[in-house]
Amino acid sequence: MGVGDVSKRILLGRKLRSSQLGETLLPKRIALPVFASDALSSVAYAPDEIFIMLALAGASTYAWSWKIGIAVAVVMAAVVASYRQTVHAYPSGGGDYEVAKVNLGANAGMTVGAALLVDYVLTVAVSISSGAQYAAAAIPAVSGHEATFAILLVGVLTALNLRGVRESGTFFAIPTYGFIVGLGVMFGFGFFQWMTGGLGQVESAGLQIEPSPGYEQELTTIGLIFLLARAFSSGCAALTGVEAISNGVPAFRRPKSKNAATTLLLLGLIAITMMLSVITLARQMGLRYVDPHHLDRLRNADGSPVGDDFDQHTVIAQLAKAIFDGFPPGFYFVVICTGVVLVLAANTAFNGFPVLGSILAKDRYAPRALASRGDRLAYSNGIVFLAVMAVALIWVFDAQVTRLIQLYIVGVFISFTLSQLGMIRHWTRHLDTEKNPAARRHMQRSRVINTVGLAFTGTVLVVVLVTKFLAGAWITLLAMGIFFLIMRGIRKHYDRVADELSADDSDKVLPTRVHAIVLVSKLHKPTLRALAFAKATRPNVLEAIYVSADQREADQIVDEWDRRGLDVPLKVLYSPYRELVRPVVEYATEIRQANPRGVVAVYIPEYVVGHWWEQLLHNQTALRLKGRLLFTPGVMVTSVPYQLSSSKVALARAERGRRRVLAGDVRRGAPSVPDRRGYRQED
């Protein structure tokens, strides 16, 4: 087979591939659990946060809980409707970042990028901390050690993701549908009990809540409004993760946008139903719930403190315990499914983080190495970075969901708001050119939806900023600012380099002559191969160089050179202190100075070994020399490899590594195993 055939075959590969890609795409029934775990898992902690905030003023304010729930639901409906417009307009998976960048410019794009980076860290921290609370509800031994348990969980997730865990449909489908069905059955049974008058009370019913310091007196109207605003903005934690689908459109089956929009609608309905059900039932069943770190504000019915060994379980756990009273499997099923879905939500961040990194890298806001799927090192660094940041947050905030939530929501709503604003611009821009009346009507409708969305998310953002800035949102804003500056710095650097590198016409001058040097350390196969290869390039001058620290060794090699009758002259450079790099660099520099229009080609024989410990034993010098020669103008450095038999080990390892699934593959719409479905399909 000739070279022409090869390249044609490679060029032709494309058509086949695109059609086959479809097979790895997700049907709606699988896409829902893949993208929903993050959003749905919020139900596990958002209602709790509403009750915690209201409880600041004592249990009397619980009357407001369902109104706050409805307010959150309305915002969620508006946001879902808005994102349904986004998935139609931006089906490429760039999500909020792309919308902001295209419509609002680079700074808005970077702001959203920074917000998303922070959000991924917080998704891990919040979901895992909440998961630890559920674990404490099911496993008494975990109670009191939630932070340790949470850090261990992050460790396990990190290890799995570094190892390359396979995100598959079933992986997500079983626990997510388990969670939906489990909670659905619980709610259904609960409402049935309510209607039939058999609804019990939760374990915390009958407790009294002492108001927090500052709330002891009757609330003023302004005080009440501020309290409700705090509760509302905490409840908006329920919206986190709703945007995930807009990043995953490419992974859907065709028609991608339509399927994504439908899935998003379904997700919104389920999330709203769940949240309102939790709040309604909790209210009805007499729930009393305070910040787990202010349990001293809980009193028994007789006014005595509940004591140090009182264990406050999460709202869903309390509901499940009461509704499935006398049927422990129901309780355990709900609690375990909730915990697993929370872990899946955290895993979502591990999957989304590298995807975001590659998108930022393509726009040169992140190191270029992140752009390609293949750079395992960059990829692993990203995962480790995410894990370290999340562990730091969990550790600093002692796995307290309530405090982490203060940091979480602001980033989410910054990207929501910028994204809505971008969408309005998008439609306005398109309306300028669109003539078709039907399309115009459609666009105008979309613009109204996004405007409503903007009104809601913008309001929430203001509320969040006002109510949460001092409580932790400043940390998020600070982190976002740092990421923003780093991204801008990286971009500036790349731009400066591109500027320095941009070609002009002076760059076409051909070197007049090639002076080739073959480095000789011993007279073995690699050296002979390097000599042969160098000779094959027919340089103007070809010489072999031996750097000697010892006259006797030098004499030996010169003798052997003569004995073998090698027809390349061998030159000995004397290096008294066993330095190798410096004499070679100086010699190359001086050749080049003697002939500034020529080029010096340095040939380095290298033998290639397979095991990591072999690499420790070999080629350190060649590596250093190559590194150093690259700084020498007018020099090119050629490695002539000689493959030792052990090198096959490394080749096999590389092959195994390449076939490994990487986190994020499923939601990027990339096939899990490229060499089965992709590149070499046509062989």
* Interface of this chain with its own copies, residues 527 to 556, rule: CB under 8 A: 527-529, 532-533, 535-539, 541
Q: Does 494 bind its own copies (CB under 8 A)?
A: yes
Q: Does 177 bind its own copies (CB under 8 A)?
A: no
Return all residues near 492 (Cβ < 8 A) that are at least 6 apart. none
Q: Does 11 bind its own copies (CB under 8 A)?
A: yes
- CB-based contacts of 222-229 (< 8 A; 24+ apart in sequence): 224/57, 224/61, 226/467, 227/53, 227/54, 227/56, 227/57, 227/61, 228/64, 228/68, 229/463, 229/466, 229/467
Q: Does 419 bind its own copies (CB under 8 A)?
A: no
Q: Which of 294, 431, 469, 614 binds its own copies (CB under 8 A)?
A: 614
Q: Which of 525, 562, 596, 659 binds its own copies (CB under 8 A)?
A: 525
Stretch that binds its own copies, among 92-100, 225-233, 285-293, 565-573 (CB under 8 A): 565-573
Q: Which of 248, 292, 352, 526 binds its own copies (CB under 8 A)?
A: 526
Q: Which of 440, 647, 660, 661 binds its own copies (CB under 8 A)?
A: 647
Q: Which of 624, 657, 676, 682 binds its own copies (CB under 8 A)?
A: 624
- Residue among 200 and 674 whose Cβ is closer to its own copies: 674
Peptide bond into 255 cis (omega under 30): yes
Separation CA 567–CA 501 (nearest Å): 40
- The residues that bridge with 209 in the sheet, in sequence order, are 298
Stretch that binds its own copies, among 50-58, 130-138, 453-461, 581-589 (CB under 8 A): 581-589
Q: What is the pattern of x (binds its own copies, CB under 8 A) and - over residues 230-249?
A: --------------------
Q: Does 14 bind its own copies (CB under 8 A)?
A: yes
Q: Does 23 bind its own copies (CB under 8 A)?
A: no
What values do phi and psi take at 305, rounded to 5? -65, 155
Task: Fill in the amino acid letter for 500.
Answer: E
Separation CA 305–CA 120 (nearest Å): 39
Q: Show contacts with its own copies in window 321-360 (CB under 8 A).
A: 358
- Pairing type for strands 298-299 and 208-209 reads antiparallel
Q: Does 656 bind its own copies (CB under 8 A)?
A: no
Q: Which of 152, 558, 573, 661 binds its own copies (CB under 8 A)?
A: 573
Q: Which of 6, 156, 225, 482 binds its own copies (CB under 8 A)?
A: 6
Per-residue burial over 171-201, b = 16 or more CB atoms within 10 Å of its CB, e = otherwise: bbeebbbbbbebbeebbebbbebeeeeebee
Separation CA 439–CA 552 (nearest Å): 87
Three-class DSSP category at 308: coil
Total residues contacting its own copies (rule CB under 8 A)?
A: 120
- Residue among 346 and 591 whose Cβ is closer to its own copies: 591
Separation CA 400–CA 358 (nearest Å): 32
Q: Which of 374, 481, 596, 657 binds its own copies (CB under 8 A)?
A: 374
Return all residues near 289 (Cβ < 8 A) that are at least 6 apart. 48, 51, 52, 55, 204, 282, 312, 315, 318
Stretch that binds its own copies, among 152-160, 196-204, 305-313, 365-373 (CB under 8 A): 365-373
Q: Does 581 bind its own copies (CB under 8 A)?
A: yes
* DSSP category for residue 521: S
Stretch that binds its own copies, among 252-260, 310-318, 392-400, 569-577 (CB under 8 A): 569-577
The runs of H, that is alpha helices, within 208-255 are 221-235, 244-247
Q: Does 490 bind its own copies (CB under 8 A)?
A: yes
- Residue among 92 and 428 whose Cβ is closer to its own copies: 92
Q: How far is the CB of 294 from its own copies (least distance, A)?
A: 40
Q: Which of 253, 628, 660, 661 binds its own copies (CB under 8 A)?
A: 628
Per-residue burial over 220-251, b = 16 or more CB atoms within 10 Å of its CB, e = otherwise: eeeeeeebbbbbbbbbbbbbbbbbbbbbbbbb
- Residue among 29 and 680 whose Cβ is closer to its own copies: 680
Q: Which of 183, 287, 580, 666 binds its own copies (CB under 8 A)?
A: 580
Residue among 27, 419, 347 nearest 164 (CA): 347
- Pairing type for strands 208-209 and 570-574 reads unpaired
Q: Which of 430, 440, 618, 660 binds its own copies (CB under 8 A)?
A: 618
Q: Are 37 and 348 in contact (CB under 8 A)?
A: yes
Q: Does 380 bind its own copies (CB under 8 A)?
A: no
